[in-house]
Structure 1
Amino acid sequence: MTDRTPMRAISRRATLVAALAMPAVARAQGDVWPSRPVRFIVPYAPGGGTDVTTRLIAEGMTNKFGKQFVVENRAGANGIVGTQVVSRAEPDGYTFGAQTSTHIMARRLGPLPYDPVTDFTPISLMARYPLVMMASARAPFTDIAGLIAEAKKQPGGMAQGTSDAQSSFAARQFARAAGIEINEVPYRGSGAYLADLSAGHLPVAWGSPATAAPMAASGQVKLIGVSSPERSPFLPNVPTITESGVTGADFIGWFGLFGPARLPRPIAVALNTAINEYIVTPAMQARYATLANEFSPMDLDQLMALMRADDERWARAQAEGLIERQP
């Protein structure tokens, strides 16, 4: 008997069958991932907070999945070189990139060869941390109230050291919220300003808890405030800036892991879940404590919401003159 089914109907039926089969194929692909080594690209030199945190995560993922998760440092152009590699990678689950909270801010600082929101898939918020206000042990004040009083005696005569875009933002935001004139002195890294701070040539500087705590322990600096809404569990005796009477100066930095855009969701979910479970283990929490890293687990949708909120925040900050495009 001759099959008189129209070819168009056959084509529609084949398309429907293929469409129904796609979720099963996606699940099958997700089940076998990873089948080979995975790269975690850190767009900065070895040894920094982003690098150390990412290496801890890579070690745990290697043990979890039974495949090597290899950290590759691709420094250059303030993180742009390595980040561009991730943005252009195949979305197959074998290339990811570590970032800091300056990832979203970067579009306000100058032109980028990628979009920091739409060209990436957020995977994990690996850690969060506040910034710390450090005062030289030789400064004539011991708290934020004293700093403000001193700054008002000599408008524009005091200085505060910063070492990157996020500390620059925090410093400017604080000065505006406190209603004082204090000059920002940018340094190339925290190591560069620590000598001036300990010698008393610089009265105030901003850094991470991991940078600030050893300096305070040695007696070279006084820790006078943290930028988080609540006190840091690693610096419980240091008041928040808000506690000290200055509102509107909160800031929380983060380390995050991203994949390229269009990464299959099953892979993103698998890696997000594995990292969240790994970080809360007692052994990992103990290692995080040595870095003063705090952990706030988020799922993929929460992470994307955080990225978009950050983008809006930096747009407002630029409009208010708190961050500036660089030449």
Structure 2
Amino acid sequence: MPAIPRRAALAALSAALAAPRVARAQAWPSRPVRLVVPYAPGGGTDIFVRAMSDGLAQALGQTVLVENRPGANGAIGSEAVARAEPDGYLLLVDTGSHVMNSYVMPNVPYQPLRDFSPVALLSRYPLLLTASGHAPFRDVQGLVAAAKAAPRTIGFGTSDAAISYAGNLFTRLVGVEMVEIPYRGAAPILNDLVAGHLPTAWNSTVAAAQHLAAGRIRALGVTTATRTPLLPDVPTLQEAGVTGYDFAGWYAMLGPAGLPAAVAGRLHAAVLRALEDPRTRERLTGIGADLGVLAPAELASFLREDDARWVRASRDGLITRAQ
């Protein structure tokens, strides 16, 4: 029998090794898919993912389970996904803190761009400067005046790196000294805000929507350059006198590095089908989600741009690495 050329032998070996992965990708999903939310239950990310999960399950034809793995500004849940088998059965839904953590946390145990596979940008959303119903100020001007009259006596709650950036950018632009109070998630922030234990906080529209509707807290301003249709009477921070303020949060779905392109593509298609369901779409838009979905390649570009933003913010002193 003639010898097989070395190049042909290597090609055959490569094909043989890839065949099981291809077969698994073609059979996917054959069991429940788990979505990791790296924050506490009841926060904006948790609310968003649970609102989407039923529609996604119908689109995939499999059960979709939501798992909360909070801690370390989202790093605990993110690391679990980064270390998982890239088979499409354990995925991450995270916020802008996913990329930002590399610039604000020491020794993050993964690299946000290298160790994950982009699947879909799910939503952008404005953040809100909110105040307790027990607080004496009813607008941004009142808050700024109170903070200038009594520096470092007014606290603001934050729950992740991106929301921390939103709060600290505000204090810098208006020239006041306030005290940042970090929480493990949006739900405990809102509990303290409603009870009057915390005077102000920064929240996503998703997390704050039900409390605003019930009149338990007040929205002083939105962080984007235009108002949100969900709260048309709430001014932007720029309109309230904070010149140059423009910042939005986002939710994205990611898998471990090495996730087969076929699986990522099917997940993206399933997200689009889920959002075609009127009940799912109504549920998500009702909590302030802006459902501008990006495909895997588009999300990869988006994440690189976001990374460049935090490089500039770190260089300019707008964010600092914790010790």
TM-score normalised per structure 1: 0.83
Asked if the contact 1:170/1:249 (under 8 Å) is kept, the reply is no
Per the alignment, in what secondary structure is the counterpart of residue 291 of structure 1? coil
Gaps of 5+ in 1: none
* Partners of 2:125 and 2:166 in 1: CA distance: 13
Letter in 2 for 1:247: T
1:326 aligns with 2:322: yes
**Are residues 68 and 313 of structure 1, via their aligned partners in 2, closer, same or farther at CA, if it must alter by over 3 Å?**
same
Q: In the aligned structure 2, how far is the partner of 1:95 from the partner of 1:151?
A: 45
Tell me how far 1:271 sits from its aligned partner: 0.8
Please say which structure displays the higher CA radius of gyration.
1
- For the residue of structure 2 that corresponds to 1:206, the secondary structure is strand
Consecutive unaligned residues of structure 2, counting only runs of 5 or more, are none
Of residues 105-114 and 188-197 in structure 1, the stretch that sits farther from structure 2 once superposed is 188-197
Q: Identity percentage over the alignment?
A: 43
One-letter identity of the residue aligned with 1:112: V
Judge which range, 312-321 or 250-259, deviates more. 312-321
Partner Cα separation in structure 2 for residue 183 and residue 38 of structure 1: 40
Q: CA RMSD in A?
A: 3.2
Question: Do the aligned residues in 2 keep the contact of 1:124 with 1:300 (CA within 8 Å)?
Answer: yes
What residue in structure 1 maps to residue 205 of structure 2?
209
More displaced 10-residue stretch of structure 1: 226-235 or 310-319: 310-319
In 2 relative to 1, CA 197–71 (structure 1 residues): closer, same or farther, beyond 3 Å? closer
SS at 2:321 equivalent: coil
Q: After TM superposition, give the deviation of residue 172 of structure 1 in Å.
A: 0.8
Determine whether 1:59 maps to 2:68.
Answer: no
Aligned to 2:98: 103
Between 1:305-314 and 1:44-53, the stretch displaced more is: 44-53
Amino acid across the alignment from 2:37 = V
Give the CA deviation at 1:324: 3.0
Displacement of 1:189 in angstroms is 4.2
Aligned with residue 309 of structure 2, among 313, 316, 320: 313
Matches within 5 A, 1:195-234: 197=193, 202-234=198-230
CA contact (8 A) 1:227 1:241 kept: yes
8 Å contact from structure 1 (residues 198, 221) kept in 2: yes
Contact kept, 8 Å, 1:161 with 1:202, in 2: the verdict is yes
**Which residue is equivalent to 2:275?**
279
Partner of 2:266: 270
Match of 1:296 in 2: 292
How far has the Cα of 1:226 moved from its partner?
0.3
Alignment of 1:166-181 (within 5 A): 166-181=162-177
Moved more, 313-322 or 95-104: 313-322
CA distance in 2: counterparts of 1:47 and 1:141, whole angstroms: 27
Report the Cα offset of residue 190 of structure 1. 4.3
Deviation of 1:133 after TM superposition, in Å, equals: 1.1
Could you tell me whether the CA contact under 8 Å between 1:138 and 1:200 is conserved in 2?
A: yes
The DSSP-based 3-state class of the residue aligned with 2:118 is strand
* Higher deviation after alignment, 226-235 or 243-252: 243-252
Q: TM-score, normalised by structure 2?
A: 0.84
The structural deviation recorded for 1:62 is 2.6
SS at match of 1:98: strand
* 1:67-121 CA-partner distances (Å, limit 9, x unpaired): 3333333344443333222112222222212222211122222212211110000
More relative contact order, 1 or 2 (CA 8 Å, 6+ apart): 2
- C-alpha offsets along residues 103-153 of structure 1, whole Å, 9 cap, x if unaligned? 112222221221111000011222322211123445554332343344444
Shift of 1:203: 4.3
Whole-Å separation in 1 of the counterparts to 2:195 and 2:15: 69
Cα deviation for residue 297 of structure 1 reads 0.9
Q: Whole-Å Cα distance in 1 between the matches of residues 74 and 167 of structure 2?
A: 22
Superposition pairs of residues 20-59 of structure 1, within 5 angstroms:
30-59=25-54
